[in-house]
Amino acid sequence: MPSLKELIKKQDLLSGGHRACAGCGATIIVRQVLLAAQYPVVVGASTGCLEVVTTIFPYTAWKVPFIHSAFENVAATIAGVETGYRALKEKGKIKEEIRFIAFGGDGGTYDIGLQALSGAIERGHRMLYICYNNQAYMNTGIQRSSATPYCAHTTTSPAGKVIPGKPQFRKDLTEIVIAHDIPYAAQASLAYWNDLTKKVQKALEVDGPSFINVLSVCPLGWGVPSDMTVEIARLAVETCFWPLYEYENGKYIINRKPREKKPIEEFLKKQNRFRHIFRHPDRDKIIARIQKEIDRRWERLLKRAG
């Protein structure tokens, strides 16, 4: 695992001066991922917040080869690049070891990009797919996605008298990816840089597809101050809203078990996207239902990890 001293000596491959919001989780994640990479990398990004804020023509914040794809097909794009690389390497035209990373938000990964991701994994391309999961379509106005949590307020699941925010629980994409019998998959958080960088290095050594789902706090969409990004990301782990774990060669490994699992209310009350819950006449029932689902998923993960 790389030490902090080793990482800060490396060149930052995502330059400052981009147009991301202050406190944006996505750009923090990208910087950590690129610092962790021990090989030259080619990066692709689906249309979304990350692409828009880093590549507005004629500028780019990327210091690595970068491909912008459509919203739904970054996995297919990078799979094609990886295939071309393998062909050229077999012909002896490329000798350098290169790795391939695709970045997509939850909209371009959980929803309209799921088909391309599933296909790339099934075909066995040697590529790392990273979902920077900010839990809504943030780039186009904070619309709900299948990654949006239960009761979160978005512009297409507005909290009001009829419904208290999104009426469905979020999809568990990490488990859907694991169901492909992938060699390596993991969940990570920007608040635990050492865990994330270790997982990136593991993933890039896999001779096949790998996947990391990283919770990406969005100050604008979540309604939190820009200086609380890391604190909120850490709370997500401490409440087991977002467990840190790996699936490696058929085995589950939990990377962090909170000493004292905090109640989900501590995570909810710090975000404006959930503030309506605390004014709702059924506040206690809603919070209890959320807590029950968090506990159910956590207990299931504990069993899978043995």
Query: 3-class SS at 62?
Result: strand
Both tokens of residue 22? 């202050």
Q: Looking up tokens 């593991």, which residue turns up?
A: 202
CATH level 2 (architecture), domain 4-304:
3-Layer(aba) Sandwich (3.40)
Distance of alpha carbon 281 from alpha carbon 153, whole angstroms: 17
Pairing of the two strands 184-189 and 245-248: antiparallel
With a cut of 80, say whether residue 4 has pLDDT above it: no
Contacts of residue 251, defined as CB under 8 A and 6 or more positions apart, other chains included, come to none
Query: Residue type at 305?
Result: A
pTM for the model stands at 0.97
| Cβ proximity of 125 and 264 under 8 Å | no
3-state secondary structure 95-122: CCCCEEEEEEECHHHHHCCHHHHHHHHH
Both tokens of residue 203? 């993933």
Q: Spell out the domain ranges in the chain.
A: 4-304
Lateral strand order in the sheet of 128-133 = 66-68, 41-45, 99-105, 128-133, 210-215, 184-189, 245-248, 251-254
For the chain, what is the mean pLDDT? Answer: 97
- Residue 105 forms beta bridges with which residues? 132
Maximum Cα interatomic distance, the chain, rounded to a whole number of Å: 69
Both tokens of residue 55? 């590549």
Each residue's pLDDT tens digit, 140-192: 999 999 999 999 999 999 999 889 999 999 999 999 999 999 999 999 999 99
With a cut of 70, say whether residue 1 has pLDDT above it: no
Helix extents (H) in the chain:
4-9, 25-36, 49-54, 74-90, 114-123, 173-178, 193-205, 219-222, 229-238, 264-268, 283-304
| Cβ proximity of 296 and 249 under 8 Å | no
What's the DSSP call for residue 159?
B
Evaluate the CA torsion angle 16, 199, 173, 207 in order and state its sign.
positive
Each residue's pLDDT tens digit, 274-296: 999 999 999 999 999 999 999 99
Each residue's pLDDT tens digit, 8-66: 788 999 999 999 999 999 999 999 999 999 999 999 999 999 999 999 989 999 999 99
Helix extents (H) in 37-144:
49-54, 74-90, 114-123
Distance of alpha carbon 170 from alpha carbon 148, whole angstroms: 5
